[in-house]
Amino acid sequence: MKHSLKITLAYDGTAYAGWQLQPDRLTVQGVLETALQKITGETIRVTASGRTDAGVHALGQVVGLTTHSQLPPEVLQKGLNAVLPDDIVVREVCEAPAGFHAIRDAQRKRYRYVINDAPIRDVFARRYCWQFSQRLDEGAMQRAARGLVGQHDFCSYESRGAPRQTTIRTVYLLEVCRREDGKLQIEIEADGFLYNMVRAIVGTLVEVGRGAEADTYPSQVLAAKNRSAGGATAPPEGLFLVKVDYGNSCESPTSSPA
């Protein structure tokens, strides 16, 4: 009898062609499934809360799977971490309710986007932030961000996405702040995200931050219902999937790094 497990992963996406399995490409899903086979002996297909693109990172990606394996969760975790490469780590394994589905059951997701707008690039964070060539006004960006909070049709913030039933999403939180280390951090939480939505929002807020647009710009883009009205899609290396919230079923651990 198979049972359901929920795995929480962190990964450095730099070396990967994204989350999703692709023939002849190194993907996080492919590497995780290989590791699962090594430890359990089973061929296991996993489902993540969502795909991350090439170069995008995760602090708390959530993956669901079913298995015959009777290994206790902590033993499975240690085994996986022993065989996974050093840019992927299992932060938690727990039993999930029967029928757990990592996409369908997700209630909220949180992403973080990090921008370094210091004149001198940070050689140690170069894979983990957008190195921006100009100082940004975080106050203007924070004011501009307010117009995107709430329930809206975000079709202007979706790039060439797969057809969807609806492009309406609810953004619960969108905060722009400067961290102690001088980098800008944009934190966004919603009930779901369209394809490239966070990177389109960041690219649009940056137009405000660099003074090219007024702080009403993101709302105008929203109203235009046209992707080309907004700023460019921000590069992948600044983006982190922070956590996925499933309500009462086992929580993903909150993040420490990045």
The catalytic residues are 53
Report residue 75 as tokens. Answer: 């033993």
Partner residues linked to 241 by β-bridges: 58, 111
Please choose, from the candidates 99, 98, 104, 91, the residue with its C-alpha nearest in 3D space to the C-alpha of residue 251: 91
Window contacting a second copy (CB under 8 A); options: 23-31, 39-47, 88-96, 226-234: 88-96
Buried b (16+ CB within 10 A) or exposed e, 84-102: beeebebbbbbebeeebeb
Q: Which is nearer to a second copy, 80 or 194 (CB)?
A: 80
What backbone phi and psi angles, to 5 degrees, belong to 210? Answer: -90, 0
For the beta carbon of residue 254, count every other beta carbon within 10 angstroms: 11
Does 73 bind a second copy (CB under 8 A)? Our answer is no
Q: What's the Cα-to-Cα distance from 50 to each of 12, 120, 158, rounded to whole Å?
A: 16, 34, 15
Q: Does 103 bind a second copy (CB under 8 A)?
A: no
Alpha-carbon distances of 166 from 169, 177, 223, 255, rounded to whole Å: 8, 31, 16, 30
Distance in angstroms (rounded) separating the CA atoms of residues 116 and 157: 23
Specify the residue, 127 or 164, whose C-beta has the smaller distance to a second copy. 127
In whole angstroms, the minimum distance from the beta carbon of 30 to a second copy comes to 17
91 touches a second copy (CB under 8 A):
yes
β-pairing, 108-116 vs 184-190, is: antiparallel
Taking the complex as a whole, how short is the minimal distance between the CB of residue 217 and a second copy, in angstroms? 30
| 258 lines the binding site for a second copy (CB under 8 A) | yes
**Residue nearer to a second copy on the CB measure, 18 or 230:** 18
- 19 lies in the binding site for a second copy (CB under 8 A): no
Q: In this chain, which stretch among 23-31, 125-133, 149-157, 198-206 interacts with a second copy, using CB under 8 A? A: 125-133
Q: Which of 53, 95, 122, 137 binds a second copy (CB under 8 A)?
A: 122
| Closer to a second copy by Cβ: residue 28 or 194 | 28
Examine residue 123 and tell whether it contacts a second copy (CB under 8 A).
yes
Task: Report how far Cα 174 is from the mean position of its chain's Cα atoms.
Answer: 14
Question: What are the beta bridge partners of residue 5?
Answer: 65, 95
**Binding characters for a second copy, 25-64, by CB under 8 A (x = yes):** --------------------------------x-------
Per CB under 8 A, does 15 bind a second copy?
no
87 is a contact residue toward a second copy (CB under 8 A): yes
Amino acid identity for residue 123 in this structure? V
Determine if 189 is a binding residue for a second copy (CB under 8 A). Answer: no
Nearer of residues 2 and 127 to a second copy, judged by Cβ: 127
Residues that bind a second copy (CB under 8 A): 10-12, 57, 81, 86-89, 91, 120-126, 128, 181-182, 256-258
